[in-house]
Amino acid sequence: MTTTSQSGTEASAAVGGVAVSTRDVHLAFGSNQVLRGVDLDVPAATTACVIGPSGSGKSTLLRIVNRLLEPDRGDVLLDGRSVLNDNPDALRQRVGMVFQHFNLFPHKTVRANVTLGLTRLRGLSKDDAAERAEHHLERVGLAHKADVRPGNLSGGQQQRVAIARALAMEPEVMLFDEATSALDPELVKGVLATMADLASEGMTMLVVTHEMGFARSVAQQVLFMDHGRVVESGEPDRVFETPGTDRLRRFLSQVL
């Protein structure tokens, strides 16, 4: 288990094996069966990208991993142990999540947005929280914007602040839910570069994305979902070059 003095990268490297797993995860909203028995394994210190059409259950899966939604059936494991009976707030200190929309507090500075969880959830002093915030803002190239409010930042900068906020909690795993889809095209590159840097540093990441170039160049594993199931998974070159199903071939023909 990680401690407040151990980074997520160090924790993932120390654990080895599989960091995140789901087993036979099902979820329905009324008569709409959103997930239909999803199994996945994300080894520690690797990146897995989940691709697929809208409505295939990708974002729902991430929310279940982070306990924002509870499955009807199945299990979620972190380091081989079920987390479904854990305190969700404690879990979210171990599993960071970056959403499509930035969810920053507009009336607080960038620094205050990053330190809030550190003081309230981690129990850090204001000085220690500020020091850690400075470190992670520097990590995403925004230390010089610490005293600015989010409304004075570009969308790409706001998303990088959201990444810094999640990293400051020093999670073992990072989840990204379409982190670039709300950005103007010219702002996407900076956010993807930040995510690629995290991957190269050994952060364990599960990424839902429409950025096929990122999935192909950064991930060790690509999973294709459709109608609530993982239809295919494998190394990026295999998935993109020799898809094994007609459904994946049709999808790739539309997005590549």
For the stretch 90-138, pLDDT in tens is 898 899 999 988 889 999 999 999 999 999 989 999 999 999 999 999 9
Measured CA to CA, the distance from residue 96 to residue 94 in angstroms comes to 6
Decide if 203 contacts 45 (C-beta within 8 A): yes
Give the pLDDT score at 216: 97
- What pLDDT is stored for residue 223 in this prediction? 98
The pair of structure tokens assigned to 80 is: 């081989």
Residue 107 backbone phi and psi in degrees, to 5: -90, 0
CA angle 141, 199, 216 (to 5 degrees): 115
In the beta sheet, which residues pair with residue 41? Answer: 21
Q: How far is 153 from 174, CA to CA, in rounded Å? A: 23
Q: Measure the CA–CA gap between 167 and 161, rounded to whole angstroms.
A: 10
- Distance CA(142)–CA(138), nearest Å, equals 6
Alpha helices in 51-125 (DSSP H): 58-65, 88-94, 110-120
pLDDT tens across 180-198, in order?
998 998 899 999 999 999 9
Domains of the chain and any CATH numbers: 8-255 (3.40.50.300)
Looking at residue 151, its pLDDT comes to 95
First-to-last alpha carbon distance for the chain, in angstroms, is 40
CA distances in angstroms from 222 to 21, 47, 150, 153, 196, listed in the order given = 15, 9, 33, 32, 15
Q: How far apart are CA 168 and CA 38, in angstroms?
A: 30
For residue 89, the model assigns a pLDDT of 87
Q: Which long-range contacts (CB under 8 A, 24 or more apart) does 232-238 make?
A: 233/40, 236/49
Say how far apart CA 64 and CA 22 lie, in whole Å: 9
pTM of the model: 0.90
Within 209-254, strands assigned E span: 221-226, 229-234
Determine the pLDDT at residue 16: 54
Low-confidence ranges of the chain (pLDDT < 50): 1-15
Class of residue 17 by CB neighbours under 10 A (exposed 0-12, middle 13-18, buried 19+): exposed
List the structure tokens of 201: 């540093």
Six-digit token string for 85? 């009976």
Rounded CA gap, 203 and 13, in Å? 8
Of 60, 63, 65, nearest in space to 82 by CA: 65
Cross-strand pairs, 81: 78
